[in-house]
A and B are shown apart, each in its own frame.
Chain A
Amino acid sequence: MKRLLTTILAGITAAGMAMAADEKPAQEPIKIGAIFGVTGPAAFLGAPEAKTAEMLVDQLNAKGGLLGRKLQLVLKDSGGSPEKAVSFAKQLIEEDKVLAIIGPSTSGETMQIKPICENAKMILISCAAAEVIVNPLAKYVFKVPQKDSQAVTWIYNTMKAAGITKIGILSDNSGFGQAGKAQLEQLAKVQGMEIAADEVYDKAAKDLTDILTKVKARDVQAVVNWSIVPAQSIIPKNMKQIGLNVPLYQSHGFGNVKYVKAAGEAAEGIIFPSGRLLVAESLPADNPQKAVLMAYKHDYESRYKEDVSTFGGHAYDAVLVLTSAIQKAGSTDRDKVRDAIETLKGLPGTAGIFNFSPEDHNGLALDAFEMLTVKDGKFAEYKK
């Protein structure tokens, strides 16, 4: 019996190998690595990113793939943990030998694997926002979300227009929160804002009334919160509950309507900078991004039956940039593809119009942002 089983297994293995060998010459797929925090604290980012990347790869394969070859997405769930991201990055580089890595979802993870990818000459297209990812520049590291310094500039400009000069800053203790905090502090000096309170909270915080009590005692005119965790929904509730009735500004990390739903009525009036994906319908028809945005929104929402978010859009842009570069290079040679990314110009993505160059590995200008607010439980353009 045992011998029979062994024979059958050997037969199956041999057949499998033979089949694989048959396919190999022309049809070996182009492997793209992806590291997203599908579960864990960054799941608001990672889950839509993974779904988007899977959808795009399926769509491209249905159209016949790239350069006559199919695409294969090797997806890893980092759970938002930098340690896991590091080991997955090594795995993708050494074992899976992928062409490029898209992701990770968070800035903390990206900063951990930035040197690894740079040393291994592996293309990394990050979906995280912190400016430090592309400044200082690393030859093989790119990122598609808007920079946090641009987000801060928009927030401060909007505040000044509303006559606000004394603010309280809250940030979570993740990489994103801390990078944003640094930008907020740095640009406050340039822009003449007075920071009356500057507090960091744990990314798993459940109740922030104590910290907000402290902020309230400092008589601020507005609060800025910089985080990607559920605290984005807890803070507006806590502010209303303890009677801290000043405007709340959040980062571009607020761009998922789930956060609005989680905060309920308390989310009304939150102001934050965002790409145009969330207000795609109300854009004028001649906007160069409109076609891309509407197509992505329609495809994603009809496939997954949930609202699109800015973060899924980052994965869309990462895949778009990579596949456009492969097409342009006409090759899957890693260095040629890398060079091709630097020559992409006027490429409309979900975050904005990308104009890459050897000096700019982000490719987005200040106009990629727009200030949005929450009105009747939905995102709307902010008008003062």
Chain B
Amino acid sequence: MAEFFQYALSGVTMGSIYAAVAVGFNLIYGTTGILNFAQGEFVMLGGMIAVSLAAFMPLPLAVAAAMLIVALCGGALEILFFRRLRSHSALHMIVITIGLSIVVREAALHVWDESVRSLPYFTGNECSSVHLAGAALSPQVFWVLGTVGLAVLVLHTFFRYSLAGKAMRACASNYEAAMLVGINTANVRTLAFSVSAGLGALAGCVISPIGMTQYDMGTDLAIKGFAAAILGGLGNPMAGVAGGLLVGLAESYSVKFLPAAYKDATAFAILLLVLFVRPHGLFGRRQGSAVREA
């Protein structure tokens, strides 16, 4: 039983990072119809900037500043590229995001070089271990779960009750209608990019002590996060949370029964199975996820 729980903890740790990426994917896809494959790069940038800033300021401030900077970068990307290129098809936009991810990755290589960095553990150090119901884990796991969980909750409240959040939901559900009732859809797009960049950066900071930060970590996370987004249901931010956690848990439990080398294969096999049964994902809407030509 303790072992079972240990796998679960391991799964939700990585799962919550996938979830943060998946939520970012869905947020941008929902409001703009773009699949942003530079989502993993936001996670990398968050970690890298926080590591650099932590040398000059206390850790919480560095993390907050990193989130803010990356959120601004995300918004700037939208204003500089996607706002101008709106007349192009969604497919073009996707290719542009892939190009941007490569540019960001190479730029990071030049700014921070190739070595692996990490933030200090938020509590304790590398060897700290907390015992919980027979399982043992690093206190950082609580930070990951707590921070990502809180961020998702705040985001949920934001969508439900704030005017800007409602505007984003309106854009997601019917873009033309949202425009007709006077929502500034261009600004909503920028906001979507900023929020998902900030969320990615936060995930990059909390995972940094455990998984470390390197300039090329974004690609893998983008693929896993994308899988999580599809599994949950593309376009629905909160479904990304479920998708992320499921991918994480599938990976870690597969290790228990199969050789660890099949970890990724198992996760994707489950993804395929789910898609055969529910092509629109676990919580996706049947018709709402079609790619729009904006």
Chains A and B form a bound pair: yes
> Which residues from chain B contact A207 at a C-beta distance below 8 Å?
10, 13-14, 210-211
Contact A242 B261 (CB under 8 A): no
* Closest Cβ–Cβ distance, residue B218 to chain A (whole Å): 11
Contact B14 A200 (CB under 8 A): no
Q: Decide if A152 is an interface residue (CB 8 Å cutoff).
A: no
**In the complex, per-residue mask of B23-41: 1 if CB is within 8 Å of any chain A CB, else 0:** 0000000000000000000
Give the one of A43, A237, A263, A265 with max B CB within 10 A: A237
Contact A258 B115 (CB under 8 A): yes
Contact A40 B114 (CB under 8 A): yes
Q: Which of A96-104, A210-218, A354-362 contacts B (4 or more CB under 8 A)?
A: A210-218
Q: Decide if A82 is an interface residue (CB 8 Å cutoff).
A: no
> Which residues from chain A contact B116 at a C-beta distance below 8 Å?
44, 230, 233, 258, 262
Contact B126 A40 (CB under 8 A): no
Contact B10 A213 (CB under 8 A): yes
Give the one of B136, B214, B251, B260 with max A CB within 10 A: B260
- A295–B293 Cα distance when bound, in Å, is 65
Q: Decide if A183 is an interface residue (CB 8 Å cutoff).
A: no
Closest to A206 in B: B211
Q: Decide if B259 is an interface residue (CB 8 Å cutoff).
A: yes
- A222–B207 Cα distance when bound, in Å, is 28
> Which residues from chain A contact B125 at a C-beta distance below 8 Å?
264-265
- A234–B10 Cα distance when bound, in Å, is 14
Contact B118 A213 (CB under 8 A): no
Contact A234 B7 (CB under 8 A): no
- A40–B264 Cα distance when bound, in Å, is 21
* A residues 232-247 in Cβ contact with B at 8 Å: 233-234, 236-237, 240-243
Closest to A40 in B: B216
> Which residues from chain A contact B109 at a C-beta distance below 8 Å?
39
Q: Determine the main DSSP class of A at the interface with B.
A: helix
> Which residues from chain A contact B264 at a C-beta distance below 8 Å?
202
* Closest Cβ–Cβ distance, residue A5 to chain B (whole Å): 32
Q: Tell me the count of chain B residues lying within 8 A, CB to CB, of chain A.
A: 42
* Closest Cβ–Cβ distance, residue A184 to chain B (whole Å): 15
Contact A234 B212 (CB under 8 A): yes
Q: Tell me the count of chain A residues lying within 8 A, CB to CB, of chain B.
A: 36
- A265–B121 Cα distance when bound, in Å, is 12
Closest to B139 in A: A241
The listed residue (B126, B135, B137) touching A265 by CB distance below 8 A is: B126
> Which residues from chain B contact A233 at a C-beta distance below 8 Å?
116, 212
Closest to B136 in A: A243
* A residues 289-312 in Cβ contact with B at 8 Å: none
Q: Decide if A324 is an interface residue (CB 8 Å cutoff).
A: no
Contact B211 A234 (CB under 8 A): yes
Closest to A173 in B: B261
Contact B127 A266 (CB under 8 A): yes
Contact B137 A262 (CB under 8 A): no
The listed residue (B6, B212, B255) touching A242 by CB distance below 8 A is: B6
> Which residues from chain B contact A44 at a C-beta distance below 8 Å?
115-116
Closest to B13 in A: A207
Contact A230 B127 (CB under 8 A): no
Q: Decide if A204 is an interface residue (CB 8 Å cutoff).
A: yes
- A291–B160 Cα distance when bound, in Å, is 71
* B residues 101-137 in Cβ contact with A at 8 Å: 109, 113-116, 118, 125-129, 131, 135-137
> Which residues from chain A contact B127 at a C-beta distance below 8 Å?
237, 240-241, 265-266
Contact A206 B210 (CB under 8 A): yes
- A243–B137 Cα distance when bound, in Å, is 8
- A200–B115 Cα distance when bound, in Å, is 23
* A residues 333-350 in Cβ contact with B at 8 Å: none
- A243–B6 Cα distance when bound, in Å, is 11
Contact A214 B260 (CB under 8 A): yes
A241 with B136, Cβ < 8 A, contacts A199-B260, A230-B116 known:
yes
Closest to B211 in A: A206
- A258–B138 Cα distance when bound, in Å, is 22
Q: Decide if B11 is an interface residue (CB 8 Å cutoff).
A: yes
- A39–B110 Cα distance when bound, in Å, is 10
* Closest Cβ–Cβ distance, residue A333 to chain B (whole Å): 37
- A38–B109 Cα distance when bound, in Å, is 11
> Which residues from chain A contact B6 at a C-beta distance below 8 Å?
209, 213, 242
* Closest Cβ–Cβ distance, residue A236 to chain B (whole Å): 8
* Closest Cβ–Cβ distance, residue B143 to chain A (whole Å): 13
Contact B214 A230 (CB under 8 A): yes
Q: Decide if B176 is an interface residue (CB 8 Å cutoff).
A: no
Contact B255 A211 (CB under 8 A): yes
The listed residue (A41, A204, A210, A264) touching B252 by CB distance below 8 A is: A210
Q: Decide if B83 is an interface residue (CB 8 Å cutoff).
A: no
A–B pairs, 5, beta carbons within 8 Å = A173-B261, A200-B260, A210-B256, A234-B212, A265-B126
Known: A43-B115, A47-B115, A200-B259. 19 other contacts (CB 8 A): A38-B114, A47-B114, A199-B260, A206-B211, A209-B6, A210-B255, A210-B260, A214-B260, A234-B212, A240-B126, A241-B128, A241-B129, A242-B6, A242-B129, A242-B135, A258-B116, A262-B116, A265-B125, A266-B127
A binding-site residues for B, Cβ under 8 Å: 38-41, 43-44, 47, 173, 199-202, 204, 206-207, 209-211, 213-214, 217, 230, 233-234, 236-237, 240-243, 258, 262-266
